C-alpha cells in the first residue's frame, strides 16, 4: 500500500514538473513575441523599414549525380545549422510586405494560444483570415517562419496538424485525436486517459497528438514496425501479428504527420527498441520511408527532433518480386511521373552520405522500370506477409 502511494506521489511530482516546464517555455516564447512585435511597431512608427532575418535550413539537396559511379559534390546541408538567411523587408517590396503581414497575424494568434494555454490547428488559423491568407500553404509557411524566428518546434507554439477533432476553434488536447494508429505490446497514460494497447494487442488506438502528455509508458515489445498504409496495418491486426510476434505496429496512413514522427522517435528513445519500416516498392513508398529517417524539406529546421535515423528498411524491395515468385500480374511499370520522382530522389545527397545501400536498391527499381505494392505478397497466401515475410526478414536480419 505504501509503495502504491509512493508511486502516485512520484507521478504527481512528475506532472507538476512537466507543467512548470511548459509554463516556462510558454513565458519565454511570449517574451520573444512581445519583443518582436514591439520592435516592428516602433520601426514603422519611426518611418523605418523593419527587416526580419529568417534562417533557412536544408536537410538534403540535389547536388549528387544519378550516375552510380559519380561521387556527390560538396554541399552545405545540415540537420542543425542554417545554410542561408532570407531577409524580409516591410516597406521595400510588396511581396515581402504581404508575407510579413501574414506572419504578424499568425504570430498574434500564437500569442493568444500561449496566453490562454489553448491549441488550434493550421486549418483553424487559415479560416480566421481566409481572404488575406488565400490558401493553406501561406499559413503553413508562416508557421514554419515563426518557429525559425522563435527557435522552437511546432508543438511549442500550440499549433497542431489538421488531425481529427471533436469541435473546431481553439481546444485542449483531450479534444484532439490523431488519424495515425498504433497497436501492440505497449501501454501509457495520455494525460488522464489510459491507452492500454497491451490489454488487446490486436486493436488499433489513435497515436497521441502530444508526446508531452505521455507518462507511465510500459512495453514488453521486441521491436517497432512502421507500415505505410492502413490496409496493411489492418491485415496485420486481422492476422493477430502483434500477439504472435510481441511488437508494436504503427501506421502514419501515408506520409506521416508531425505527431506520428514525434511519437515514433519518442518510442525509439524511451524503449530503446529497433524500428523497421515496410513500404510499397515505388518512389512514393520510399519517400515516406525517407521522411521517417531523414525528415522532410518543409520541416528541415526541426529535422533533429523529428527524424528517426536508426530506422531500418525492411521492404518491400524490387528483388522481392523474383525471390518470392510473385505472378507477373502484380507487377506495374513505372510511369513517367514515377521515373521523374525516382530520378529526383536519387540525386539527394543523404543517399550518398548516409544510405548508399538504399540508393542501390532505388537504382535497381529504376533500371528494371517496375514497381509493386506490399499487398502483392498476398498472391502467395492471404497471410503470407504476417506469417512468413516480416518474421523471416527480421529473424534473418534481411533489412538495410
The residues assigned a catalytic role are 127
Residue 316 · residue 261 · CB < 8 Å:
no
Residues 225, 139: Cα–Cα separation, whole Å = 33
Residues 223, 394: Cα–Cα separation, whole Å = 9
What cell was used for 315?
521492404
3-state secondary structure the chain: CHHHHHHHHHHHHHHHHHHHHHHHHHHHHHHHHHHHHHHHHHHHHCCCCCEEEEEECCCCCCCCCCCCCCCCCCCCCCCCCCCEEEEEECCCCHHHHHHHHHHHHHHHHHHHHHHHCCEEEHHHHHCCCHHHHCCHHHHHHHHHHHHHHHCCCHHHHCEECCCCECCCCCECHHHECCCCEEEECEEEEECCEEEEHHHCCCCCEECCCCHHHEEEEEECCCCEEEECCHHHHHHHHHCCHHHHHCCEEEECCCCCCHHHHHHHHHHHHHHCCCEEEECCECHHHHHHHHHHHHCCCCCHHHHHHHCCCCCEEEECCCCHHHHCCCCHHHCEECCHHHHHHHHHHHCCHHHHHCCHHHHHHHHHHHHHCEEECHHHHHHCCCCHHHHHHHHHHHHHCCCC
Residues 334, 365: Cα–Cα separation, whole Å = 9
Residues 294, 60: Cα–Cα separation, whole Å = 9
Residues 33, 2: Cα–Cα separation, whole Å = 47
Amino acid at each position: 500500500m505504501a509503495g502504491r502511494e509512493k508511486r502516485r506521489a512520484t507521478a504527481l511530482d512528475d506532472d507538476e514538473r512537466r507543467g512548470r516546464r511548459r509554463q516556462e517555455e510558454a513565458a519565454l516564447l511570449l517574451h520573444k513575441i512581445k519583443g518582436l512585435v514591439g520592435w516592428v511597431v516602433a520601426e514603422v512608427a519611426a518611418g523605418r523599414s523593419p527587416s526580419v532575418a529568417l534562417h533557412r535550413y536544408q536537410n538534403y539537396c540535389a547536388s549528387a549525380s544519378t550516375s552510380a559511379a559519380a561521387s556527390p559534390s560538396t554541399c552545405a546541408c545540415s540537420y542543425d545549422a542554417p545554410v542561408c538567411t532570407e531577409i524580409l523587408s516591410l516597406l521595400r517590396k510588396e511581396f515581402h510586405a504581404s508575407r510579413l503581414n501574414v506572419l504578424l497575424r499568425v504570430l498574434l494568434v500564437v500569442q493568444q494560444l500561449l496566453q490562454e494555454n489553448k491549441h488550434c490547428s493550421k486549418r483553424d488559423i487559415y479560416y480566421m483570415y481566409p481572404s488575406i491568407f488565400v490558401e493553406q500553404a501561406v499559413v503553413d509557411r508562416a508557421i514554419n517562419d515563426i518557429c525559425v524566428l522563435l527557435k522552437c518546434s511546432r508543438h511549442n507554439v500550440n499549433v497542431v496538424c489538421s488531425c481529427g477533432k471533436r469541435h473546431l476553434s481553439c481546444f485542449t488536447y483531450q479534444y484532439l485525436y490523431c488519424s495515425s494508429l498504433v497497436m501492440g505490446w505497449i501501454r501509457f497514460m495520455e494525460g488522464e486517459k489510459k491507452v492500454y494497447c497491451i490489454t488487446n494487442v490486436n486493436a488499433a488506438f489513435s497515436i497521441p497528438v502530444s508526446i508531452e502528455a505521455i507518462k507511465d509508458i510500459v512495453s514488453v515489445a521486441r521491436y517497432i514496425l512502421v507500415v505505410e498504409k492502413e490496409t496493411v496495418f489492418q491485415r496485420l491486426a486481422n492476422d493477430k501479428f502483434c500477439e504472435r510476434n510481441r511488437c508494436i505496429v504503427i501506421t502514419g496512413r501515408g506520409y506521416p504527420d508531425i505527431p506520428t514522427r514525434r511519437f515514433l522517435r519518442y518510442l525509439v528513445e524511451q524503449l530503446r527498441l529497433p524500428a523497421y519500416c515496410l513500404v510499397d516498392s515505388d518512389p512514393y513508398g520510399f519517400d515516406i520511408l525517407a521522411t521517417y529517417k531523414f525528415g522532410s524539406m518543409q520541416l528541415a529546421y526541426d529535422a533533429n527532433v523529428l527524424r528517426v535515423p536508426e530506422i531500418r528498411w525492411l521492404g518491400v524491395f524490387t528483388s522481392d518480386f523474383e525471390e518470392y515468385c510473385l505472378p507477373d500480374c502484380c507487377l506495374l511499370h513505372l510511369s513517367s511521373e514515377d521515373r521523374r520522382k525516382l530520378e529526383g530522389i536519387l540525386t539527394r545527397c543523404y543517399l550518398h552520405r548516409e544510405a548508399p545501400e538504399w540508393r542501390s536498391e532505388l537504382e535497381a527499381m529504376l533500371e528494371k522500370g517496375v514497381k509493386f505494392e506490399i499487398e502483392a505478397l498476398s498472391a502467395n497466401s492471404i497471410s503470407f506477409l504476417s506469417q512468413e515475410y516480416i518474421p523471416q526478414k527480421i529473424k534473418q536480419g534481411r533489412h538495410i
